[in-house]
Chains A and B, each alone.
Chain A
Amino acid sequence: MPTIKSIDDLKKIREEALKKQEMKSASGQKQIIVGMGTCGIAAGARDTMKAILEKIEKDNLSGIIVTQTGCIGVCEMEPIVQVQIGDAPKVTYGKVTKDIVARIVDEHVLAGSIVKEHMVNI
């Protein structure tokens, strides 16, 4: 049997998240995509993903969707992270280490300015 200790905890989480969602402005969805192909994982994509999720937890950042994708064909630039804000074109970052994650989240995802020096053209 699965062991979920407290369904009540989840209910509370859901209610709080709903409140936050209502407060959020309609500035468009914020999405972070991490490349998780064999190439990405071997290059450290799980640490990159981990850094993103920990940043979200630590700074209590609501309203960011984090998903993963497979190999996108630029294996030599892994770990790859893509950011899409609303309808703006997707921006791709290469060789994204833990430190770069913090910059991408702070400067691009939250403040809206692209971190140009880590961008890659694909």
Chain B
Amino acid sequence: MKELSLHLMDISENSINANASHVTISIDENTLEDRLTMSVKDNGNGMTPDMTQKIIDPFTTSRTTRKVGLGIPLLKAAAEMCNGFLKISSQPGEGTELIAQFQRSHIDRMPLGDMAGTILHLVVGSPATHWTFKYKVNDANFEFDDQIIKAELDGIPLSEPMVLSFIRNEITNGIKNISINEY
């Protein structure tokens, strides 16, 4: 994966597969502490401590469980390569939260990439899920919550051309307003 936003998309896929009805994706960039923290939190099936340990290790993953794969080990390796870490906390029946942290200025840290694309595709591609996206850069905040849009559209599919443009603009502008130019 070449972008952090692709990892976030991939991790979010696990939440969908775990039957989550609400997924919150957060990114926090702190230039003072030189950290970039991102998380995916869901209210899906959750996992036992044993399972939580297992999915971090690519060599003990079992293909019989669909939510298990290479996605998490890949992100863990990327974070650790940049003086960071990956942490998962989960409770069966409660949900799962995955946190990955990077040294923001690390030469090997992937760019965030097309985050607007990732959120748009998740919102449109999995319309039954409630998506929240929180982006923080130092003291500036942007939050996107698809419930407001869905309530207003009242059943009109999100893949209608005008709706796509609207959501794309919302997210793109929101991100652009607070992000610090990189690369």
**Residues of A at under 8 Å CB distance from B?**
1-5, 7, 9-11, 13-14, 16-18, 20-21, 34, 36-38, 41-42, 46, 49-50, 53, 56-57, 59-68, 70-71
Q: Which one of B17, B122, B159 has the highest number of Cβ atoms from chain A below 10 Å of its Cβ?
A: B159
Contact yes or no, A3 B1, CB < 8 A:
no
What is the CA–CA distance of A17 and B13 in the complex, to the nearest angstrom? Answer: 29
The main secondary structure of chain B at its interface with chain A is helix
CB of B93 to closest CB in A, whole Å: 22
- The answer to whether A53 touches B164 (Cβ under 8 A) is yes
- Given contacts A3-B143, A14-B156, A66-B159, is CB(A50)–CB(B69) below 8 Å? no
A68 in contact with B162 given A4-B148, A4-B149, A7-B152 (CB within 8 Å): no
| Contact A68-B121, Cβ < 8 Å, known A57-B164, A61-B161 | yes
B interface, size bucket:
35 or more
Expressed in whole angstroms, the minimum distance between the Cβ of B25 and any Cβ of chain A is: 14
Of all chain A residues, which has the CB nearest B66?
A: A70
**In the assembled complex, how far is the CB of residue B164 from the closest CB belonging to chain A, in whole angstroms?**
5
* List of A residues within 8 angstroms of B70 by Cβ: 38
Provide the B1-30 mask, 1 if CB < 8 A to any CB of A, else 0: 100001001100100110000000000000
Q: Considering the complex, which residues of chain B in the window 23-47 have a beta carbon less than 8 Å from any beta carbon of chain A?
A: none
Contact A68 B148 (CB under 8 A): no
B125 and A10 within 8 A (CB): no
Q: Are A41 and B125 in contact, CB atoms less than 8 angstroms apart?
A: no
Sample of 9 more A-B contacts, CB < 8 Å, known A38-B10, A68-B121: A13-B163, A14-B153, A17-B163, A37-B13, A49-B121, A63-B160, A65-B157, A66-B124, A71-B69
- Name the distance in Å between B13's Cβ and chain A's nearest Cβ: 6
